[in-house]
Amino acid sequence: MNPLPDPVDLIDGEWVTPGDTLDAWVEDPNTGEQVQKQAATSSEGIERALAAAARVDAHGEWGRMTPEARADMLEAAAGALAPLTGEAAELEARTSGATIGMTGMLSVIIPGAFALAAEMLRSGLTYREYEGPNDNTVEVHRKGWGPALQLVPWNAPAPMAAHKVASALAAGCPVIIKPPERAPHGTGVLTKGLDEVGFEPGLVQLVHGGPRQGGVLVKDPRVRAVSFTGGVGGGRDIATACAVGLKPVQLELGGHSPLVLMPDVDAEAAAGAVVALMTTLNGQWCRALGRLILPAERSEELMGAIAAALGSVNLGSSIDPSSMMGPIVHSDHLGMLQGTIDRFVAAGGEAHSWTSLPDLGGNFLAPTLLTGLDPDTTGDEVFGPVAFVHEYRDLDEALTLANGTEYGLEAYVFGTDEEAAMAFARNVRAGGVKVNGASPISLNLMAPRPAWGVSGLHIEGTAETIEFFCGTSVVGVEGPLEFA
């Protein structure tokens, strides 16, 4: 297999070596081998990127283009990125541990995000008119806030970066991208594709590093908007820094999603949902299963079906197309997950796993269900293929369990009677509630992707993320006022 490419920064139109490293390694999660020092942009490089973004915002052409002209460039970006999706998918499978089948499916988002952003501009998202005084027109312009920072997670980096970057560019913002230090390479492919489009230098920039570099960027007054996908702890720190700077921040944080199995649920469908939610991105995604909530009178039957389904999961190398599930991203994260399981077992819980581990020596963990625990102790997200099982006696208790955490990103309800399942789903406190479905795909491409509680701040979506990066300006001729 070819070695991983060396990460490189794109700063003010120049590709340069990041200039520093972190005291940590990018791993091959399939073997556990340390393959590359994690890259970090030097302090001088960070300053150059900030200065270039501020210059483009103040004097560049991008923010002054018509929405139609920006749409043309975004469509050109979609065309340039389409041939690169395979390369990005392979690199992300090799570094994040997500299966090549999953990274390949998600890679369509990379060019698709730019095509959608162009479509939104052409639909008139950033301009509206009202009737004003003296028959004059009142113009409402939505304009980019200014330099926008994109902080990208490691579970699906390039697709998430594409959505954030395309949205910010559509708004008229210069962008600085910081990919995840554990899996930066797919985002590098995205940025190289964008560099071929002919954007002005400094409009799209790529830097590297960990929390220290990210903190410098978030706190700098030249950054006027921040979009972050990651954990609750990091989100709180970023929100605090943005509050000090009075700058808008968009956060998509944890999920700890409940799956409620209705009393009439089909056992095979229920087992399939558990498998999907625990193996998609290897359980390392914000909409993964957190709480499995099932009827007590059918517990033995349903757990038997789930055990059989998880026992048939092909857990293997992330670059093997036959693998249904791959390894955990990094040995540090694997250690955290195993420590969490051990802690709950020590507290009286029972850990159940039925999936066979491959003989590869990497960062593998079988999907694990924890039973016998007090729901008051299981309210925190684990962020891995580990979930808690709780039984209910009636639907009121099921709803209490579903709403019994601080999170509210996604929830799932499965039942044979779809009308009854829908009635239950309407009372679940979450930004999205899927009935009889558990895919990572949105219910509708144009529907918003909201979050409740500690799961996030500011709605994401095809239109909503563009709107987040925009401020609003109202312009019109008033003329003399007449008073009676």
pLDDT for 385 = 98
Neighbours of 354 (CB within 10 A): 16
Question: How large is the average pLDDT for residues 145-161?
Answer: 97
Q: Confidence band (pLDDT; 50, 70, 90) for 2?
A: confident
pLDDT for 115 = 98
pLDDT for 480 = 77
pLDDT for 427 = 98
| pLDDT at residue 156 is higher than 90 | yes
Q: How far apart are CA 253 and CA 230, in angstroms?
A: 5
Quote the tokens at residue 105. 């499916």
Q: How far apart are CA 187 and CA 198, in angstroms?
A: 18
Contact 176, 148 (CB under 8 A): yes
The identity of residue 19, as a single letter, is G
Q: Confidence band (pLDDT; 50, 70, 90) for 386?
A: very high
Mean pLDDT of the chain: 96
What are the C-alpha distances in Å from 212 to residues 21, 65, 314, 423?
Answer: 12, 35, 38, 46
Q: What is the pLDDT of residues 363-384, one digit of tens each?
A: 999 999 999 999 999 999 999 9
Q: What is the pLDDT of residues 318-349, one digit of tens each?
A: 999 999 999 999 999 999 999 999 999 999 99
Task: Report how far Cα 211 is from the mean position of its chain's Cα atoms.
Answer: 17
Question: Of all residues in the chain, what percent carry a pLDDT higher than 90?
Answer: 96
Q: How far apart are CA 285 and CA 409, in angstroms?
A: 11
3-state secondary structure of 2: coil
Q: Which one, of 116, 112, 111, 118, lies nearest residue 69 by Cα? A: 118
Q: How far apart are CA 168 and CA 148, in angstroms?
A: 7
Question: How large is the average pLDDT for residues 217-234?
Answer: 97
Contact 408, 308 (CB under 8 A): no
Q: How far apart are CA 292 and CA 309, in angstroms?
A: 15
| pLDDT at residue 448 is higher than 80 | yes
Contacts of 136 by beta carbon, 8 Å cutoff, 6+ apart? 476, 477, 478, 479
Neighbours of 198 (CB within 10 A): 10
Neighbours of 51 (CB within 10 A): 14
Question: How large is the average pLDDT for residues 421-429?
Answer: 98
Q: Confidence band (pLDDT; 50, 70, 90) for 134?
A: confident
Cα dihedral sign for 27, 15, 204, 245? positive
| pLDDT at residue 450 is higher than 70 | yes
Question: How large is the average pLDDT for residues 223-240?
Answer: 96
Q: What is the pLDDT of residues 83-106, one digit of tens each?
A: 999 999 999 999 999 999 999 999
pLDDT for 135 = 86
- Please state the pTM of the whole predicted model: 0.96
| pLDDT at residue 471 is higher than 70 | yes
| pLDDT at residue 484 is higher than 70 | no
| pLDDT at residue 133 is higher than 90 | no
pLDDT for 309 = 98
Backbone angles phi, psi at 416, to 5 degrees: -70, -40
**Angle of CA points 358, 159, 328, to nearest 5°:** 25
| pLDDT at residue 388 is higher than 90 | yes
Q: Which of 157-161, 287-291, 440-444 has the lowest average pLDDT?
A: 440-444
| pLDDT at residue 47 is higher than 70 | yes
Task: Report how far Cα 245 is from the mean position of its chain's Cα atoms.
Answer: 24
| pLDDT at residue 483 is higher than 70 | no
3-state secondary structure of 211: helix
